[in-house]
């Protein structure tokens, strides 16, 4: 079982490797990856050193180039693929069909993983990406139950990777323009959802208010901090109902489901969080490494107490339990 861990900075990458990551994923500091936040991500030189650091310790590095190239600017995404290969990356994580076709043609020896941003949610989609672009692994979208994942694995020949911890998209990934509708910056094109430069916190008549692009996403009474205004975790009103229409302020914790995911034929477990600190990365990686080590040794995995690190400090098993829908 392979643990695929996030790194937003070289320091976080070293922390992940030191904490026992089998594999670390990261991206370049531009529109080419889906965590394009200020102060994050890697320069070309940083990626070179990071790959050396990881390889020296037996860990792999995957480079996420998982946004959709914008018309007229494909060169930026193509050079990212070429530079990842030059740095010695073990694979690139791609979503766009045009970029996948380019990588398959011009970088045939560079392993290609299908990003969750491609939202390949059934065996037909996965088999299609495998045959059309030689994709070797698919990161499954967070809309599937464990039983559905098992059924998918019975019908495909490529590896599957699933999210087990961290932020949770409630929409099919790569197919959501909510943030773009409110702010004009697109998760698909600019790699940033609910971008911080469109976030506004204010105090109004005893309430803390968080807005995104001028739309009120949270309003909490004094004393409580308004959470970061991630659009799909916001509090809204629909007719007589007021509440979290799309999803509560929770994040995914599927640590208890790892044995079932292993039985479902999953190859790799993915931890979300390239925007989080090296302290977070190290804590989560260490905890999950204890789980995979126990399973590899045929022991019962330890129960993890990670809720404190979660967004909103509450966790869900998301779509893995069918009732979530």
Partner 1 sequence: MQRDGKDLRIPVILSVPMQILPLWPVSAALDLLARSLLRAHPEILRRIDKYQNHHFVLDITDLPFILQLDPARAGLRAFRRGAAPAGDARIAGTFAAFLAMLHGVEDGDTLYFSGALQIEGDTSAVLALRNALDDAELDLSAEIASALPALSAPLRAALAPLERLTGLHLRRPAQEVY
Partner 2 sequence: MDLTVAPNPFFWNADTVRSFYSTLACAPVARVVLGELVCSKRLPFWQGEIPQAIDNLQAGGKQVALTSLALITLKRERKQMAELPGLGLPVEVNDLSALHHIAPGVPFWVGPMVNVYNESTLRWLVRRGATRVCLPPELPMRSVAILANIAQGEGVALEVWGHGRLPLAISGRCYHARLHDRAKDSCQFVCDTDPDGRDVDTLDGQRFLVVNGVQTLSQAYACMADHVGQLREMGVAALRLQPQSVGFAAICADYARLLADEICADRLADNLRAAHPQMQLCDGFGRGQAGASWRGRAAPA
Residue 138's binding partner among partner 1, partner 2, none (Cβ under 5 to 8 angstroms by kind) is none
- Per-residue contact string for residues 181-220; x = within reach of partner 1 by CB under 8 A: --------------xxx-x-x-------------------
Smallest Cα–Cα separation from 59: which of 31, 34, 89, 94? 89
Task: Judge whether 232 is annotated as a binding position.
Answer: yes
Residue 97's binding partner among partner 1, partner 2, none (Cβ under 5 to 8 angstroms by kind) is partner 2
Task: Judge whether 26 is annotated as a binding position.
Answer: no
Backbone angles phi, psi at 126, to 5 degrees: -65, -45
| Contact between residue 252 and residue 313 where contact means Cβ atoms under 8 Å apart | no
| Contact between residue 113 and residue 70 where contact means Cβ atoms under 8 Å apart | no
With respect to partner 1, which residue has the nearer C-beta, 87 or 261?
87
With respect to partner 1, which residue has the nearer C-beta, 140 or 285?
285
Pairing of strands 137-139, 159-166: parallel
Q: How far apart are CA 202 and CA 34, in angstroms?
A: 28
Q: How far is the CB of 303 from partner 2 (least distance, A)?
A: 27
Q: How far is the CB of 84 from partner 2 (least distance, A)?
A: 18
Residue appearing with tokens 């698919």? 138
Which neighbouring-strand residues pair with 63? 26, 92
DSSP category for residue 249: S
304 binds partner 2 (CB under 8 A): no
Q: Which of residues 263-292 bind partner 1 (CB under 8 A)?
A: 275-280, 282-283, 286
Residue appearing with tokens 């087990």? 164
Both tokens of residue 213? 């692009």
Binding residues: 169, 176, 193, 232
Binding residues for [4Fe-4S] cluster: 169, 176, 193, 232
Return residues touching partner 1 (CB under 8 A). Answer: 8-12, 15, 19, 37-40, 195-197, 199, 201, 224-225, 227-228, 275-280, 282-283, 286, 305, 308-313
């Amino acid at each position: 079982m392979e643990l695929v861990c996030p790194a937003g900075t070289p320091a976080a990458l070293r922390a992940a490797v030191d904490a026992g990551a089998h594999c670390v994923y990261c991206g370049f500091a531009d529109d080419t990856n889906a965590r394009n936040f200020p102060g994050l991500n890697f320069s070309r030189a940083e990626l070179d050193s990071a790959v050396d650091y990881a390889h020296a310790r037996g860990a792999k590095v995957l480079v996420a180039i998982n946004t959709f190239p914008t018309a007229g600017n494909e060169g930026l995404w193509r050079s990212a693929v070429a530079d990842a290969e030059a740095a010695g990356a073990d694979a690139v994580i791609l979503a766009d069909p045009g970029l996948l076709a380019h990588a398959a043609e011009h970088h045939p020896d560079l392993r290609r993983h299908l990003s969750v941003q491609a939202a390949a949610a059934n065996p037909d989609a996965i088999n299609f990406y495998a045959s059309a672009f030689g994709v070797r692994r698919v990161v499954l979208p967070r809309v599937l139950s464990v039983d559905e994942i098992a059924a998918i694995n019975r019908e495909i020949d490529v590896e599957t990777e699933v999210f087990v911890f961290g932020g949770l998209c409630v929409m099919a990934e790569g197919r959501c323009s909510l943030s773009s509708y409110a702010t004009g910056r697109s998760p698909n094109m600019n790699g940033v959802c609910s971008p911080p430069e469109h976030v506004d916190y204010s105090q109004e008549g005893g309430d803390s208010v968080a807005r995104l692009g001028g739309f009120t996403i949270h309003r909490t009474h004094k004393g409580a901090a308004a959470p970061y205004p991630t659009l799909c975790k916001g509090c809204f009103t629909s007719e007589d109902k007021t509440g979290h229409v799309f999803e509560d302020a929770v994040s995914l914790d599927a640590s208890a489901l790892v044995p079932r995911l292993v039985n479902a034929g999953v190859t790799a477990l993915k931890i979300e969080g390239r925007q989080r600190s090296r302290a977070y990365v190290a804590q989560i990686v260490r905890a999950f490494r204890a789980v995979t080590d126990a399973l590899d040794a045929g022991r019962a995995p330890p129960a993890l107490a990670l809720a404190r690190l979660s967004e909103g400090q509450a966790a869900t098993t998301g779509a893995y339990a069918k009732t979530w829908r």
